[in-house]
Amino acid sequence: MAFRVLTMAVDLCRLTTRTMNVNAGHERTSKARIIHQIQLIRGITDELYLDGNARQNLATFCQTWDDENVHKFMDLSINKNWIDKEEYPQSAAIDLRCVNMVADLWHAPAPKNGQAVGTNTIGSSEACMLGGMAMKWRWRKRMEAAGKPTDKPNLVCGPVQICWHKFARYWDVELREIPMRPGQLFMDPKRMIEACDENTIGVVPTFGVTYTGNYEFPQPLHDALDKFQADTGIDIDMHIDAASGGFLAPFVAPDIVWDFRLPRVKSISASGHKFGLAPLGCGWVIWRDEEALPQELVFNVDYLGGQIGTFAINFSRPAGQVIAQYYEFLRLGREGYTKVQNASYQVAAYLADEIAKLGPYEFICTGRPDEGIPAVCFKLKDGEDPGYTLYNLSERLRLRGWQVPAFTLGGEATDIVVMRIMCRRGFEMDFAELLLEDYKASLKYLSDHPKLQGIAQQNSFKHT
């Protein structure tokens, strides 16, 4: 790539100096400028080669493969500012269509005016922030109406992604995170209820826990909140953080009731750029109805001679991610998404079966659609010492380009070290076979060189 860019730039230099009638001083200046640009392009290109290979990144939940048409749509929209609805009305119309499609996918009630309540975001983290703000505003309004203080809001959740810690700090909310513990690596109804009170703005299950890949199933939590309300009179809303699961379960496990079919669910967030198959920089948040989104959070902007409401933290950004998401929705449809996601689950199940043959492992997630997202997560069995740690194994795999994280769990389970492999579009059976070959070679090396296994935990990496 660097050589091709260099050749093109040299040809441009020759063409410029042959055809332009300029004095010698200006010609030398132009040549110097072009040579500098060549060196600059080459230097940046060479530096980027030092990044990891995105296709071998089995730590990330994000998409690392896009077809050529996605690149074309991104190029076409790179100078269109998503926030400028009046200047780019067709891009805005496509955005609204996507909101309706996602709302329908998640069983939102039919909107009164034909337009679902939701918005595109820069990712699921912004979507979580917006969902959290709406929860706090609704709670505050209820408390004020009851004449009660609003100075001590809290949010109840299980092992969440860092964005919820940021939300709690930025918006002055106490985060009551139900800790992971051995044998219980997610939020359970009993501990959830113990953490709830009248100051709880909402409960947030994670539909695809980042540590392990397992689903934190919302329905048992929802039912426990129903009983809690019957016993105490306290009505608590739910927001579902479906960053990964939101674009998986509807296609491969439709019988799991996790979305707006549960009455307490007032909002759902997800990453379009994860299993929504969009390029990086795309997220979605949908509210049950207009009542679930406090209007004081909504700003109106001009659109087609009228006005349209917007609710976002970020402002200027290109419209390409939304356009690419729309393209994937239309190109694949429900049938296509089902095939793509099923393929990822098949790869995950295959890897889990094969890896189980290679060591004394206990699996936490085996990539089954009824269990969680297409991830393989495992630990060494208690009391087993195969002569290496998962940190050793992660480091050896990285020497072959594979980024497979090994890390400790959180909460009360920090003595548990796990390894997690994410399977997604672009990581198919042929890649899985290559990974297994390098996995076996790594195990052989670790067996042959027991004295070289002193890698410390801090030298490994994690991605949760």
Question: Do 320 and 447 belong together in one domain?
Answer: no
Confidence at residue 235, expressed as pLDDT on a 0 to 100 scale: 98
Instruction: Clarify whether residues 156 and 222 are in a common domain.
Output: yes
pLDDT for 300:
82
Task: Report the pLDDT value the prediction gives residue 17, as an integer from 0 to 100.
Answer: 42
The values of phi and psi at residue 228, to 5°, are: -60, -40
The predicted pLDDT at position 26 comes to: 58
Instruction: Please indicate, yes or no, whether residues 79 and 43 belong to a single structural domain of this protein.
Output: no
Based on the fold, state whether residues 183 and 292 are members of the same structural domain. Answer: yes
Domain span at residue 455? 358-459
Same domain? 29 vs 82: no
Q: Is residue 396 part of a domain?
A: yes
Q: How many domains does the chain have?
A: 3
Q: Is there a domain that residue 33 lies in? A: yes
> Is 61:210 a contact under the CB 8 Å cutoff?
yes
Query: The CATH number of the domain where 427 resides is what?
Result: 3.90.1150.160
- Please report, to the nearest 10 degrees, the dihedral formed by the alpha carbons of residues 229, 234, 239, 241 taken in order: -70
Q: Is the same domain home to 303 and 369?
A: no
Same domain, 31 and 113: no
pLDDT of 128: 98
Residue 177 located in a structural domain:
yes
Please give the backbone phi and psi of residue 270, each rounded to the nearest 5 degrees, phi first.
-155, 160
CA 299 from centre of chain: 26
Which whole-number Å values give the CA distances from 29 to 17, 25, 33, 36, 287, in the listed order?
11, 6, 6, 10, 59
Nearest to 362 by CA among 345, 383, 337: 383
In this prediction the pTM is 0.90
Whether 408 maps to a domain, the answer reads yes
Is residue 240 domain-shared with residue 97, that is, in the same domain? yes
pLDDT along the chain (464 residues), means of 10: 43 44 60 89 90 93 94 95 90 97 99 95 97 99 98 98 98 98 97 99 99 99 99 99 99 99 99 98 98 94 72 90 98 98 99 98 98 99 96 97 98 98 97 98 94 58 63
152 plus 239 within the same structural domain: yes
Whether residue 277 sits in one domain with residue 197:
yes
Residue 351 domain-assigned (yes or no): no
pLDDT in the model for residue 89: 93
Q: Please give the pLDDT value at position 369.
A: 98
Counting Cβ atoms within 10 Å, is residue 107 exposed (0-12), middle (13-18) or buried (19+)?
A: middle
Q: 463: exposed, middle or buried (C-beta count within 10 Å: 0-12, 13-18, 19+)?
A: middle
Asked whether residue 94 falls in the same domain as residue 165, the answer is yes
- For residue 346, is it within any domain? no
* Nearest Cα to Cα of residue 354 among 343, 345, 366: 366
> For residue 52, what pLDDT is reported?
86
145 close to 191: Cβ distance less than 8 angstroms: no
Q: Are 36 and 74 found together in one domain? A: no
Which CATH number belongs to the domain containing residue 114 in this structure?
A: 3.40.640.10
Residue 353 in domain: no
Q: How many CB atoms lie within 10 A of CB 343?
A: 17
In a domain, 58, yes or no: no
